[in-house]
Structure 1
Amino acid sequence: MKKTIVSSTLGLLLLFAGNVYAAEDETAVDPNSELYDTSRVIEEAEYELTEENSEKALLQDEYADDRLNEAEVSLDKGDEANAEELLEDYEEHVKQAEEDMEAAKENGEDISTVEETLVENSQKRSENLRALLEREDLPEEAKAGIAKALENQQKAEQNYLAARKKAEEAQEVAQEEAQEETQEKEQEKAQEKQEKAQEKAQEKQEKAQEKAQEKQEKAQEKAQAQQEKAQEKAQAQQEKAQEKAQAQQEKAQEKQEKAQEKASEQQGRASGRP
């Protein structure tokens, strides 16, 4: 509901202030113009309606440009008091832009492009502030305010550069970690592939050994069967030979006994003669 009201208000203000922006200089709005305050209200409404912190930072950076240009206009017109206020507003915008960038980082927004824009604009504003310091027509009080603004601007610029360097280093670390992770995965994959190949080779070797052992066992069984048959055959032949020898021995013994009986009969006959 609040956003709807602000949006409606912003639309009305834009319509109301359109002629003001068309009539003013493109690079700077006269702070003494009738609807200058309205333009500042529009800025606030635009800022409140912006959701992403990085976009908010860009708006604050744009407002800082506007305040610096407006301060130059005031200085050109000799309105040093107004220029001092505008320079203070300028510093607030620079500070708020830094805070919005920090919030954007915490929220994980992509700020690389925004940082480049802020650094570039910051360097341009530093050049403008240094040019103002070199003006001989400005009083020392005005130069003191400009010097302070320049100092704060340079600090902001250094912060942006440091943040960008830190982000680049973090990105390099992330890339190195990602590369290491990729290498580890590739090594794990290669090791897994090697282990599978070794397992496959081992299985193949085991199968070959089992097959060779099975073949050897069959050969041993066959040799043992042949040996048993040979032993059985030899034993059978031996038994036959023994039986034959025993039969011959019995026959010889029987023949000897008959011869002895015959000899005894002949001897008995011989002894019984008259």
Structure 2
Amino acid sequence: MDNFLLGPAEIRQLADKLDVSPTKKLGQNFLHDPNTVRMIVAAAGLEDGSGQHVIEVGPGLGSLTLALLDEAEKVTAVEIDPRLAKQLPETIAQRAPHLSNKLTIIGRDALTITADDIDNPTALVANLPYNVSVPVLLHLLETFPTITRVLVMVQAEVADRLAAQPGTKIYGVPSVKASFYGNVRKAGNIGKNVFWPAPKIDSGLVRIDCTRPYPPELRTTVFPIVDAAFLQRRKTLRAALAGHYGSAAQAEHALTTAGIDPTLRGEKLSVNDYVTLAQAGH
């Protein structure tokens, strides 16, 4: 697979050809290290099942796309930058023509993608644009119940938050919402120098094995409770959820019914506790 992956020289040539200077607004940092690309694909574990249909968000110049096409049956790449979306099929055709027929490109903002746009994807593997990484991740998990595996690269700090455990300082809304869909864990650290331009921050890999332990319709009840619980982290759940339930007394009643101590703070509760609380109030 190595011979058709993009290295630093090829990335610069493509960027020059397209007159692309990576923009902060779109969170663009182009991956140019084949070893890192191989590590990402290996961490995604796509070989666990044949017939994988992978969504890649923000394929950029195609470094990861080439490696994904080599592993998966189909790749749907979602690219907001029209110049990059137009170039991607040409890059694949030049470097790996035998893989071209596996690629579909959607030139859109990933946050506007609906279930009608992509047919039964089974995995999300992407170097997510850092400024919208968590919203994009949660949007795609909600939109496509067929996704069973996620492997995303995000800012190191965001990776730590997503994989954080209850009771820790960095555990918060993203941690709870991601774990609503399955088992979340950190899958590696990525340094700055594998990108062009090198970002100011390190990156991390997050893997989610989407077991989807809860009915999807519960999301609309559970997520607002999670948002309210963490809005003012210092408050007890009785106080933090007063607005959500209508009063502190009603919040206390809901918490007690669910078997949760009203004097705890939101960061002490697991996703399972939040689901129990949502069910107790309905």
Shared fold, TM over 0.5:
no
Q: Which has the higher strand share?
A: 2
Query: TM class, shorter-chain normalised?
Result: under 0.3
Task: Report the TM-score when normalising by structure 2.
Answer: 0.22
* Structure index of larger Rg: 1
Task: Report the TM-score when normalising by structure 1.
Answer: 0.23
Higher relative contact order, structure no. (Cα contacts within 8 Å, ≥ 6 residues apart):
2
